[in-house]
Amino acid sequence: MTNLLVLREYMKSFYAKYEEFLVPVLKFMLACILFFTINGRLGYMDRIDNPVIALVAALLCSFMPPGMMVFLCAVFLLLHIYALSMECVVVLFIVFLFVGVVYLRFSPGNYLFLLATPLLFLLKIPYILPIVAGLFGTLTASVPVVCGVVVYYVLSYMTGNAQTFAGSVTGEGDSILQRFKDVTDGVTGNREMIIVAVAFALTAVLVYGVRRMEIHYAKAVAILVGTLVDIVILLVGDLMYDANFSIAAVILGSIAAAFLALIVQFFHFTLDYARTEKVQFEDDEYYYYVKAVPKMAVAAPEKRVKRITTQRANQNVRRSHGKGKTRK
């Protein structure tokens, strides 16, 4: 435990010292992951499926406000889907408008949750998002998580039926209105998307509420409760609406998410409940009752370097020889 606390202090001091350099580098790395993932997963438009374009866009995001990364990801997605099908790009554009209005209205600052949700779905660990959003976000942090869920499932539906939609470009199949209706029905009728969105929203709100309670180890309890609630909602939704969830994937993924959330929570802050103090004081109008829980911290050990010059070493040798002769 002590070594982990020392490591945390090193990381905090390193970040505080080089923050102005680390933030652009981290934004560049995240943007690279997003753009290369979009091109690798979709890749329908050859003109933007180019590493140079992805790197230039990532470099632009590293020095621009966070909203630029969200905007460019949306542009990349729209261009790729446009190369796939006109009907799909219209539906995706409507979804982006809805997500943008809801996101900007309720939670404009939590762009990281919006971007990370589809990415973590691809990495098979999406269940950590609602827990982390409830731990470190506000009550409205569930909004970008739900928006990310919607975007992921809409894109997953379109890419999963790419061969069907690709035929619409050449004018084959039914009329344009019929194809547009088919895409809309496929997106809005996705029961799995609705169940996951509801589960993630309730989990994030519940974790936020529990971690603000005045109990010992509130954040660890919030992680545990949020994990259990998320599993229960997903499994009950699967039983009621036959969403075809993998029970093993849900349970194991949720347990892994809880473990990762505990690690993230530890490196963010850890409280020492053994030294909890309750303080009471007053002024002319009020009595104040304060419960103080100190943060668990360990000072990083200072390294002391002792320099031994050649002259000092020779003097020490002469003294040792002198003492030897005296003893004789």
**pLDDT score of 229:** 92
Last residue of a domain, one of 51, 84, 117: 84
Q: Tokens for 50, please give them.
A: 């180019």
Domain assignment of residue 67, given as a range: 1-84
d(CA 131, CA 204): 6
Residues 266 and 302 in one domain: no
**Domain identity same for 210 and 103:** yes
- Asked if the model's pLDDT at residue 286 lies above 90, the reply is no
Please tell me whether residues 69 and 137 are part of one structural domain: no
Backbone φ and ψ for 138, nearest 5 degrees, come out as -95, -175
Confidence of residue 291 (pLDDT cuts 50, 70, 90): low
Contact 37, 121 (CB under 8 A): no
User: Which residue type, as a one-letter code, is found at position 22?
Assistant: L
* CA torsion through residues 247, 130, 21, 24, sign: positive
User: Is there a single domain that holds both residue 33 and residue 126?
Assistant: no
- Largest Cα separation within the chain, whole Å, is 113
User: Do 109 and 61 belong together in one domain?
Assistant: no
* Per-residue pLDDT at 77 exceeds 70: yes
| Closest listed residue to residue 203, CA positions, set 259, 151, 132 | 132
16, amino acid identity: A
d(CA 258, CA 182): 38
List for the chain the helix, strand, coil content (%; round to 5). Answer: 75, 5, 20
Backbone angles phi, psi at 193, to 5 degrees: -60, -45
pLDDT of residue 272: 47
- What is the total count of domains within the chain? 3
Residue 199 has pLDDT above 50, yes or no: yes
pLDDT at 328: 46
Maximum mean pLDDT: which of 10-14, 261-265, 270-274: 261-265
Please say if the pLDDT value at position 76 is more than 50: yes
Lowest mean pLDDT among 46-55, 72-81, 272-281: 272-281
Is the pLDDT at 192 greater than 80, yes or no? Answer: yes
Q: Decide: 264 and 220 in contact? Cβ < 8 Å.
A: no
Are the beta carbons of 173 and 161 closer than 8 angstroms?
no
Q: Kindly state whether residues 205 and 287 are assigned to the same domain.
A: no
Residues 253 and 301 in one domain: no
Question: Considering only 172-176, 199-203, 255-259, 265-269, which range has the smallest mean pLDDT?
Answer: 172-176
Domain boundary among 226, 243, 270: 270
φ, ψ at 71 (rounded to 5°): -65, -45
Task: Look at 138 and 150; give whichever has higher pLDDT.
Answer: 150
- Report pLDDT for 197: 92
CB 122 within 8 A of CB 41: yes
Residues 141, 109: contact at Cβ < 8 Å? no
The secondary element (H helix, E strand) that includes residue 13 is: helix 2-17
pLDDT at 50: 87
Question: How is 243-269 classified by DSSP, letter by letter?
Answer: ----HHHHHHHHHHHHHHHHHHHHHH-
Within this chain, do residues 119 and 177 fall inside the same structural domain, yes or no?
A: yes
Same domain, 243 and 160: yes
| CA torsion through residues 171, 176, 182, 186, sign | positive
- Give residue 273's pLDDT: 45
Domain boundary pick from 250, 270, 290: 270
**Same-domain pairing of 197 and 131:** yes
Mean pLDDT of 106-132: 85
| pLDDT of the residue at 320 | 59
Q: Any idea what the Cα angle at residue 237 is, between residues 233 and 242, rounded to 5°?
A: 155
My answer on whether 171 and 294 are in the same domain is no
Calculate the average pLDDT of the chain.
Answer: 80
Regarding whether 285 and 144 lie in a shared domain, the answer is no
**d(C-alpha 265, C-alpha 131), whole Å:** 10
